[in-house]
């Protein structure tokens, strides 16, 4: 049942990306191009998404102790604004601006069989792997074991 | 040049929010695509099946629209070097920063998480700057 829910949510998510045209890199780039032919459409995507998720989170999920089909919520608890978060956002923003593609639309575009999408996904996986190695090597060079466990926790929970 | 399409954008956004909400409500999981992708390739002991199921749904989703005679026109004009560099940066950055447009941008901001609000502001501004430089200065 949980696996079916996962599949169904992935399907809905992909429908949302496709209907809103987030899957079209040109649309994303025109949204980011505020001084050119600005296309503000994607503001409505984020607005709609935040409205539904935010209201649901604060009025329903916050009052629950556990999810309906599982025995715990896997919600990132970290509050610390650290270097990794900031550097990660800068790098991610650069890649997103260069291509107009982020992870969700890349996956939802697989069936277009566009070679560039496959190349993007391949490089994205290599990038994730490289980041994981980087985090591991920095974590093992720090002497405090506390540091290590918090670093690993960020990676796993978010 | 793309047309301004507020209605389909809003409808798509509502679907994204609804999917993320349902996922958290039923399975207790955050619909953060970068983490779901990277987690799918991690140690098999860490319950990867739900990640694969989610990704399968995401990948197959355009088929559902084809049934309704929907035309998906995705032509990618981005040059090859940009695709390769950009893909790497998106992967590296989302892993290091623990999230992307979905995990931070919707689920994180929706929970009013300070980390996600800061992350989203930074990557939006950086992406806007990168587009400005590549389209208007180069």
Q: What is the value of ipTM here, to two decimals? A: 0.94
Query: Does A7 sit within 8 Å of B14, measured CB to CB?
Result: no
> What pTM value is reported for the model?
0.91
Query: Does A155 sit within 8 Å of B16, measured CB to CB?
Result: no
Query: Does B4 sit within 8 Å of A88, measured CB to CB?
Result: no
User: Rounded distance, CA B74 to CA B135, Å?
Assistant: 20
User: Rounded distance, CA B82 to CA B118, Å?
Assistant: 26
Check if the beta carbon of residue A88 is closer than 8 Å to that of residue B38. Answer: no
Cβ-proximal residues to B31 (8 Å cutoff; 6+ apart), any chain = A9, A13, B19, B20, B23, B24, B54, B102, B103, B106, B107
pLDDT of the residue at A153? 43
Structure tokens at B53: 């199921």
Specify the higher pLDDT residue, A154 or A68.
A68
What digits encode the pLDDT tens for the residues A86-145? 999 999 999 999 999 999 999 999 998 999 999 999 999 999 999 999 998 887 765 444
pLDDT at A4 over 70: yes
pLDDT at B43 over 70: no
User: Rounded distance, CA A139 to CA B124, Å?
Assistant: 28
pLDDT of the residue at B65? 82
What digits encode the pLDDT tens for the residues A20-53? 999 999 999 999 999 988 999 999 999 999 999 9
Q: Which residue has the tokens 């949204």?
A: A31
User: Rounded distance, CA A19 to CA A15, Å?
Assistant: 6
Which 36-95 residues of chain B touch chain A by CB within 8 A? 37-38, 41, 46, 49-51, 53-65, 70, 72-78, 80, 82-95
Local structure of B13: helix, strand or coil = helix
Query: Does A84 sit within 8 Å of B97, measured CB to CB?
Result: yes
Closest-CA residue of chain B to A17: B12
């Amino acid at each position: 049942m949980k696996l079916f829910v996962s599949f169904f949510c992935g399907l809905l998510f992909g429908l949302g990306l496709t209907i809103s045209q987030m899957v079209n890199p040109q649309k994303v780039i025109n949204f980011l191009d505020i001084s050119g032919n600005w296309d503000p459409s994607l503001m409505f995507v984020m607005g709609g998404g935040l409205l539904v998720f935010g209201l649901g989170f604060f009025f329903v999920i916050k009052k629950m102790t556990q999810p309906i089909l599982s025995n715990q919520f896997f919600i990132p608890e970290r509050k610390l604004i650290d270097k990794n978060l900031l550097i990660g956002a800068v790098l991610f923003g650069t890649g997103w601006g260069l291509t107009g593609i982020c992870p969700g639309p890349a996956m939802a575009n697989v069936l277009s069989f566009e070679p560039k999408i496959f190349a993007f996904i391949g490089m994205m996986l290599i990038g994730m792997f490289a980041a994981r190695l980087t985090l591991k090597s920095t974590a093992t060079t720090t002497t405090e074991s506390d540091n290590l466990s918090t670093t690993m926790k960020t990676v796993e929970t978010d | 040049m793309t047309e301004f399409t507020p209605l389909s954008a809003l409808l798509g956004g509502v679907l994204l929010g609804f999917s993320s909400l349902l996922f958290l409500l039923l399975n207790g999981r955050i619909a953060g695509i970068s983490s779901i992708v990277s987690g799918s390739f991690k140690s098999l002991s860490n319950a990867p099946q739900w990640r694969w199921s989610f990704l399968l749904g995401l990948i197959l989703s355009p088929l559902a629209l084809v049934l309704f005679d929907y035309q998906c026109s995705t032509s990618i004009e981005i040059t090859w070097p940009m695709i390769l560099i950009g893909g790497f940066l998106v992967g590296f950055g989302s892993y290091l920063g623990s999230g992307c447009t979905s995990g931070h941008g919707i689920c994180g901001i929706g929970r009013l998480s300070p980390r996600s609000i800061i992350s989203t502001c930074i990557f939006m501004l950086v992406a806007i700057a990168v587009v400005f430089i590549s389209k208007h200065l180069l």
